[in-house]
Amino acid sequence: MSFFLTGCVVTAPLTPQTNVTQLFTLLQSLDENISQDEAMKLSRDIFEHTEKLTKEFNMTSPPLWHNFLVNAGIREKGLCYHWSDALYVYLSKKQYRSFDFHLMGADIGKYFLEHNVVVVVVKGGKIEDGIIIDPWRNSGKVYFSKVREDTKYLWKHRANRGCKRQ
């Protein structure tokens, strides 16, 4: 019975170097003045912290099942905003020279549809030109893309959730 209630527990994935490199390349594409070292550090930090959160949240798959477990009180955390908030706070404390971080949401206020992510932008850059970081979407496996290329959602800045407005 407990298996039925907990679902398939997700093991924190070991991040393939190709994923780190792909995100690194995308981060560098934000601006020609971003150093390779800083872009690589940010890419590694995102994947490493996501692995930590996957364990901490005791993630199950699929993510909507995990949401049910959280809402039923069986799991403590792991909703999309838990991911975005934790990643935002962690990355903001790192004080990167070339990057800013923002929170974005889609379908805000719609109980079963609302979704939240972190967006990385070049320091002072526009959110629309940023990169979405979404570990919830694939149960702890980092999804990333340019904001404009993620057509699954219509993203809006969540300045009221603690990040500065642009």
What's residue 3's pLDDT? 45
Give the number of domains in the chain: 1
Judge whether 27 lies within some domain. Answer: yes
pLDDT tens by residue, the chain, 166 residues: 444 445 555 565 556 789 999 999 999 999 999 999 999 999 999 999 999 999 999 999 999 998 899 989 999 999 999 999 999 999 999 999 999 999 999 999 998 899 999 999 999 999 999 999 999 999 999 999 999 999 999 999 998 876 654 4
As a whole number of Å, the end-to-end CA separation of the chain is: 49
Judge whether 74 lies within some domain. Answer: yes
CB of 127 closer than 8 Å to CB of 121 = yes
Closest Cα to residue 75, out of 64, 84, 85, 87? 64
Closest Cα to residue 128, out of 164, 88, 91, 156? 156
Judge whether 149 lies within some domain. Answer: yes
DSSP structure class, residue 97? S
* Rounded CA separation 9/98 (Å): 36
Query: What residue spans of 1-147 are helical by DSSP H?
Result: 2-6, 17-28, 36-56, 63-71, 80-93
What's residue 114's pLDDT? 94
What's residue 130's pLDDT? 98
What's residue 161's pLDDT? 76
Judge whether 166 lies within some domain. Answer: no
What global pTM score does this model have? 0.88
H or E segment and range at residue 145: strand 141-146
Judge whether 155 lies within some domain. Answer: yes
Which residues constitute the domain of residue 115? Answer: 2-161
Structure tokens at 143: 């999804």
Tally Cβ neighbours within 10 Å of residue 80.
20
H or E segment and range at residue 154: none
